[in-house]
Structure 1
Amino acid sequence: MSRWQEAGADTAMFHGGLYAVRCRYAELGLSQLLPLQRVLVGAGSRRKGAFGGFHHLDQGYRHLQMFAVVTMHGPMESGTPHRPDLALLDLLRAYAHDCLHYGSRRRYISVGGTPARTQYGINFRRPSGQPYSGADPQGSPHTRNLGIVMEGACDREARRITRETAIRAGIVAPDDALGRLAFRDMTGALSDEDVTAESAETHEGEAAGYVERLRRYETGVNRRYAYFLTEFAPGEEEDLHDLLLAAVISGDTRGLSAWLDARHGPGTFAGVFLSGAYFEPAALDLSA
């Protein structure tokens, strides 16, 4: 951050966003944010045409190491952002997102001397590996997968904070297609046209791959989560969203389950998410 400041970037916006993250997450029950020293930002690359940002390959939170590994948005040849405003907004979105991963309730046990995560937020996994919920069918507009629900909830919140920070700082979408698309993604304002399969074809090199991953994330995570909220909480989407995030942080599903039961009948949480495979015995390895 200090290197970016020396290059002329005004980082006050980012620090204002951090304050918003701290206040909002405290309301949800998260008092300890991801320490900034545990956020590793890749800002330079020797790879020709390298393009970084939230949708860079292998970017994200490492739950065992408790580190966030992120990249600077945009071209990465120089180590300083080509567009400081976009890079700072993207970094804020990534940090706000990974804070929720860091703060999600987790439980581990030892399986043969190897740590196995049996709970992550409101998602559960048997020691033998079976997840509580199954994968969604490819191309499905809705979700019955707790991993998608939690990921969507984290990003919805992170993008809301990023959007409000951009408004306070007076930052608007750039005029060029790639910058405009990135800004809309960071602030949760992507249109249907933005996420068509043809959208990536207008870009070249690594930027095209970045846009394609952006499109897949939007349709496979964020839009499925938005559909889930309107499906189970029409007119009360934000209430359900807040309950979900609070449950993810605490690991306690009772309040969330009671809310769903009151609107959709007893046992809604299990009825929606529980997969029959959760109770199946683990497959035996017969190769030994």
Structure 2
Amino acid sequence: SVVELGTEICDSIACARDHVVALRTKLGELAASSGLKIASMGTHPFSHWRDQLITEGERYQEILKDMQSLARANLIFGLHVHVGIPNRETAIHVMNQARYFMPHIYALSVNSPFWVGQNTGLKGYRLKVFERFPRTGIPDSFESLSEYEDYCKLLVKTACIDNAKKIWWDIRLHPFFDTLEVRVCDAQSRVDDTLAIAALIQAVIAKLHKLLHQNITFRIYRRRLLDENRWRAARYGIGGKLIDFGKEAEVDERSLLRELLEFVSTEVKELGSEKEMAHIERIIREGTGADRQLAAWEGTEDMKAVVDHIVGETYEGLILP
């Protein structure tokens, strides 16, 4: 079974932590009452999508009717983070800038090395599954909010979509909330990893928002260039190299992440998320969720042992009787 959890609107990363812990704790209690346990990751190591039932909700049935086998096989789990920006014109320009950082953030979050019982050889296989859907991946840049809205209106007018919620980019301007929604990350097993990545996303958006108001912007790179880094992030996680397009050179992803932490250091202090951001250093040192899953597999070659490992991490930090 798949359960989607969502926090309330949070005014700080500490508030978000309280919500995540409370939600996971409650879900763990409900699962225990049925003799079950919960596990959070980007893909299940061995469960097959053919064996799963699809929710009877109208929206999910519409997607199934439209996407057919693509929807049936979409047994993946993501971490979505919303950051509020009341001015939607500003939000579009921040989104244009933030596109560049999606592969860097995804590399930190990879937690899906296995698919239907196979070691895929990728650290993040979830995005490869989701790419089968239309309107996914890193978006193109938009010159203005009106250009983006014209794009959405055209898709609705031509019956491609009924509303912009069916635009599933790695980062998108949410159609109903005044937020930028970062959707690229795999679901995390540990609470601390979840909050660290959320804090990094918040800090990056805050930094770009501040720079935009200072009339400082980054060069806008084409999607096909950013996709090169997106592929590298999925394949190697933080163990590989991404391209620094300004230098036209490969750079170790761990070095790039440390540069990113320095880039947002002022905003981290302003947002009060130093504790969460310090945990990113632990991920850089010890490895991502995918690295830890693979270590569990290499020690046993037993997929059930991998799931036991994921379950153990999922319960870290929860308050259970």
What TM-score do the two structures reach when normalised by structure 1?
0.32
Which structure has more relative contact order (CA 8 Å, sep 6+)? It is 2
Structure 2-normalised TM-score?
Answer: 0.29
